[in-house]
Amino acid sequence: MDLNTSHRFKRRALKFAHLVGLFLAMLVICLPGLWIVLSSLRPTVEIMAKPPVWIPQELSFDAYRAMFGGAGQGGIPVIDYFRNSLIISITSTIIALVVGTAGGYAFARYKFKGKSGIFLGFMLTRAVPGIALSLPLFMIFARLGIIDTHFAMILVYVALNVPFTIWLIDGFFRQVPKDLAEAAQIDGCTLWQAFWQVEFPLAGPGIASAGIFAFLTSWNEYALASQITRSVNSKTLPVGLLDYTSEFTIDWRGMCALAVVMIIPALTLTFIIQKHLVSGLTFGAVKG
């Protein structure tokens, strides 16, 4: 075997090993998701079987039918939970983005007293585990009489997301060269116009990714929601999952079906926005 052949062989072997490694990693990541989807379609007997039944014998959409069948038929008010989740997540995401964009821009562009202190403060709020706040929040919200309302949940999620969106969006505005806003001002823009015409479109992909993050955080959050929501008034989907547990049984199939229903909007949104996350949009603005 000459040197060329042996090197070619080595390269192919490495590539093969690389692919196998990737496949195994993907398997670890995807299998639980796949298992949830499968479990939502199988009867409980099969789900609980030991040893596990790897190849499903019997698939049905019964769990989904029951879920949307409404309360009283063993179903759960999924539509209400879904609506609550949507209202709370979307509203809190929009507010977090507006505040995050304004704050991020200020941190990226302006000098002011205590800037680094405030920034550090924001980061430190993220260091507190959310669950540690649940009891104080519960007490305060109870006093205010806003337990079990959309408003309370939106408030919590905005507070949770704003430090992160500010931090993320600050980074994206920093990547937009200052010269561009100045050029826009010379071209006749007010500061407001320069922001909307030039800086915002360029930071747009970054703001969108901050949006995905904020939305997913609110959509998936369980710990705080489980304390502050009580009823169909404000229960979100993650809390709703718990409805499938009763004193003696857990309806695994139904729980998995609801989990699938939860995942779908999150996945869809991520896919839609991901298309706009074109990186390197600012390339070509400055320098050669």
Is residue 232 at the binding interface for other proteins, with CB under 8 A as the rule? Answer: no
**Radius of gyration over every alpha carbon of the chain, rounded to an integer in angstroms:** 25
Is residue 277 at the binding interface for other proteins, with CB under 8 A as the rule? Answer: no
If binding means CB under 8 A, how many residues of this protein chain bind other proteins? Answer: 25
DSSP string over 197-266 = IIIHHHHHHHHHHHHHHHHHHHHH--HHHHHH--STTT--HHHHGGGGB-SS-B-HHHHHHHHHHHHHHH
Q: Cβ of residue 63: shortest distance to other proteins, in angstroms? A: 47
Is residue 136 at the binding interface for other proteins, with CB under 8 A as the rule? Answer: no
Is residue 188 at the binding interface for other proteins, with CB under 8 A as the rule? Answer: yes
Helix ranges restricted to H, the chain: 3-39, 44-48, 62-68, 78-109, 115-127, 134-144, 150-175, 178-186, 191-194, 200-220, 223-228, 237-240, 252-274
Of residues 36 and 208, the one with the C-beta less far from other proteins: 208
Q: Cβ of residue 182: shortest distance to other proteins, in angstroms? A: 5
**193, 231, 268, 274: which one contacts other proteins (CB under 8 A)?**
193
Q: Cβ of residue 202: shortest distance to other proteins, in angstroms? A: 6
Of residues 117 and 188, the one with the C-beta less far from other proteins: 188
**115, 187, 242, 267: which one contacts other proteins (CB under 8 A)?**
187
Q: How far is CA 132 from the centre of its chain?
A: 21
Q: Cβ of residue 173: shortest distance to other proteins, in angstroms? A: 14
**133, 153, 184, 224: which one contacts other proteins (CB under 8 A)?**
184
Of residues 143 and 287, the one with the C-beta less far from other proteins: 287
Name beta bridge partners: 71. Answer: 75
Determine the residue type at 81: Y
Tally of CB atoms within 10 A around 254: 24
Q: Say if CB 224 and CB 103 are below 8 A apart.
A: no
**110, 112, 271, 283: which one contacts other proteins (CB under 8 A)?**
283
**118, 159, 223, 285: which one contacts other proteins (CB under 8 A)?**
285
Determine the residue type at 99: V
Distance separating alpha carbons of residues 218 and 158, to the nearest angstrom: 9
Q: Cβ of residue 191: shortest distance to other proteins, in angstroms? A: 8
Q: Which residues bind other proteins (CB under 8 A)?
A: 177, 179-180, 182-190, 193, 197-198, 201-202, 281-288
